[in-house]
Amino acid sequence: MKYLISGLLIALMMHVDAQDKNKLKKDTAMKFNELNAFEKYVIEEKGTERPFTGIYYKHDEKGTYLCKKCNAPLYRSENKFDAHCGWPSFDDEIKGAVKRTVDADGRRTEITCFKCGAHLGHVFMGEGFTSKNTRHCVNSVSLNFLPESKK
């Protein structure tokens, strides 16, 4: 009986210890914004919103576009242009904010948030829309917008 009790005590102490470690892990982990089902579909499952439906497609306010998931600044309004494609288009990103990964079939290059890995869309080169010859085709739902006046 005595052994059983001390065994139980040790097990209990180990359990508490493990819980503390988990709590610590949670506290130091990156804080993410809550995503709704559609945002999760695009951002985490690499989905695509329907063209001409996103709130930032026809949006020309001055400011900064942030990652919907982790708030990292990704694009500036001065790099936004209308490619008539139905999605927000940018010819440049904020330096170091966007990661490029060639799709498995080698045809397209996926763009993700460098900080948290959120799926943004795809980047296309050589289309000649702007002098930078680059089009980041980004889902509105992957972005939040911070107007310049509220910085």
Rounded least distance, CB 143 to Zn ion, Å: 10
Nearer to Zn ion (CB atom), residue 65 or residue 87: 65
> Burial level of 46, CB count in 10 A (0-12/13-18/19+)?
middle
Asked whether the beta carbons of 100 and 81 are under 8 A apart, the reply is no
> How many Å apart are CA 48 and CA 34, to the nearest integer?
19
Rounded least distance, CB 110 to Zn ion, Å: 14
Rounded least distance, CB 147 to Zn ion, Å: 19
Among 43, 67, 98, 141, binds Zn ion (CB under 5 A): 67
Nearer to Zn ion (CB atom), residue 70 or residue 146: 70
> How many Å apart are CA 92 and CA 79, to the nearest integer?
6
Nearer to Zn ion (CB atom), residue 83 or residue 118: 118
Active site residue 70: no
Number of chain positions touching Zn ion (CB under 5 A): 8
Rounded least distance, CB 115 to Zn ion, Å: 5
Render 21-68 in DSSP notation, one character per residue: HHHHHHHHSPP-----HHHHHHHTT---PPTT-STTTT---SEEEEET
> How many Å apart are CA 88 and CA 55, to the nearest integer?
9
Vertex 90 angle, CA 36 and 59, to 5°: 60
Residues 89-118 that bind Zn ion (CB under 5 A): 113, 115-116, 118
* DSSP state for residue 49 in the 8-state scheme: P
Contact segment (CB under 5 A) with Zn ion among 20-28, 63-71, 84-92, 103-111 equals: 63-71
Contact segment (CB under 5 A) with Zn ion among 2-10, 65-73, 83-91, 102-110 equals: 65-73
Contact footprint for Zn ion (CB under 5 A): 67, 69-70, 72, 113, 115-116, 118
